[in-house]
Amino acid sequence: MKLLQASGISLAFKGVRALDNVDLAIDQGELVGIIGPNGSGKSTLFNVLSGIYRCDAGTIHLDGAPIGGLAPSRIAQRGLVRTFQNKRLFGSMSVLENVLVAALKSQAGSPLGDVFGLTRSKQGMSRGLELARRCLDRVNLSSLAAVQARDLPYGAQNRLEIARALALEPRLLLLDEPAAGLNPAERGELRGLIEKVHSDGVTIVLVEHDVRMVTGLCRRVLALDHGVKIADGPSEEVVNNPQVLEAYFGDVQSEEASHA
């Protein structure tokens, strides 16, 4: 059985087909990349899989059980967790507190109401703190635990976003452009982090604009263009696929034209 099986996913926004009959199957233990030009539907696909958007058509199963239409918090409880391209950190809270919120949510096993119950119980709080500290350690942020999230360097904010996701104890982690805006050193560090999380047993789907990073990390890659899956296979094959090259090359040309 596939860990994740999404079939025939379609979603339109006011006539724009953001996703057009997309099939996606992920096995337990995979590290799969998704590439595609800007606007090709990558984030929308994550939004559908994680329950933020409801698709117009299609079915989604996690471990064989349907999850389509469930709330994002319910889907996260079942083990599918995503990070956001635009990070959703609490700027005025410390790094540790940001992760603690997620850790308490995961311990409560249900939406926010119980989080407050848990903070009242000493045992729940100390378990949450322990989990939060472990997650910070995994992303190499322990030394910055007391810093306000908004004061973190950009690359560290990306790692904090991942720590928050890890605190929900995912089996399937969807990463949306975690390397965006990072310098080469930060990219290298992020790459090591993704490899480590994967080797700890977390199945990962990585949306990333940096094709070299994707081919370096992922054995299998799929490509989207205008909401359509145009390739799905071994990474070297997919990035050299003429249709994929055209999707990117066409994109570059039109960007050049728009700057002319």
What residues line the site for ligand ADP (CB under 6 A)?
13, 16, 18, 36, 38-44
Minimum CB–partner distance for residue 202 and ligand ADP (Å): 22
In whole angstroms, what is the distance from residue 97 CA to residue 99 CA?
5
DSSP reduced 3-state for 94: strand
Please identify, using beta-carbon distances, which residue of 87 and 138 lies nearer to ligand ADP: 87
User: To which residue do tokens 């976003």 refer?
Assistant: 161
- The strand pairing partners of 162, in sequence order, are none
- The strand pairing partners of 173, in sequence order, are 81, 204
Largest CA distance in the chain: 62
Please identify, using beta-carbon distances, which residue of 177 and 189 lies nearer to ligand ADP: 177
Of residues 234-253, which lie at the interface with Mg ion (CB under 5 A)? none
Q: Which residue is nearest to Mg ion (CB)?
A: 43
44 binds, among ligand ADP, Mg ion, none (CB under 5 to 8 A by kind): ligand ADP
Q: Which residues contact 193 (CB under 8 A, 6 or more apart)?
A: 138, 139, 140, 159, 162
Work out whether 43 is an interface residue with Mg ion (CB under 5 A).
yes
Rg (CA), the chain: 19
- The strand pairing partners of 229, in sequence order, are 224
DSSP category for residue 227: T
Please identify, using beta-carbon distances, which residue of 6 and 95 lies nearer to ligand ADP: 6
83 binds, among Mg ion, ligand ADP, none (CB under 5 to 8 A by kind): none
Please identify, using beta-carbon distances, which residue of 114 and 251 lies nearer to ligand ADP: 251
157 binds, among Mg ion, ligand ADP, none (CB under 5 to 8 A by kind): none
Of residues 70-129, which lie at the interface with Mg ion (CB under 5 A)? 85
Minimum CB–partner distance for residue 42 and ligand ADP (Å): 3
Minimum CB–partner distance for residue 214 and ligand ADP (Å): 13
Minimum CB–partner distance for residue 127 and ligand ADP (Å): 36
Please identify, using beta-carbon distances, which residue of 16 and 245 lies nearer to ligand ADP: 16
Q: Which residues contact 164 (CB under 8 A, 6 or more apart)?
A: 83, 89, 98, 99, 101, 102, 135
Q: Beta-carbon neighbour count of residue 205 at 10 Å?
A: 25
16 binds, among Mg ion, ligand ADP, none (CB under 5 to 8 A by kind): ligand ADP
CA 82 to the chain's CA centroid: 4
Residue 96: closest CA among 42, 62, 39, 134: 134
Minimum CB–partner distance for residue 15 and ligand ADP (Å): 10
Q: Return residues touching Mg ion (CB under 5 A).
A: 42-43, 85
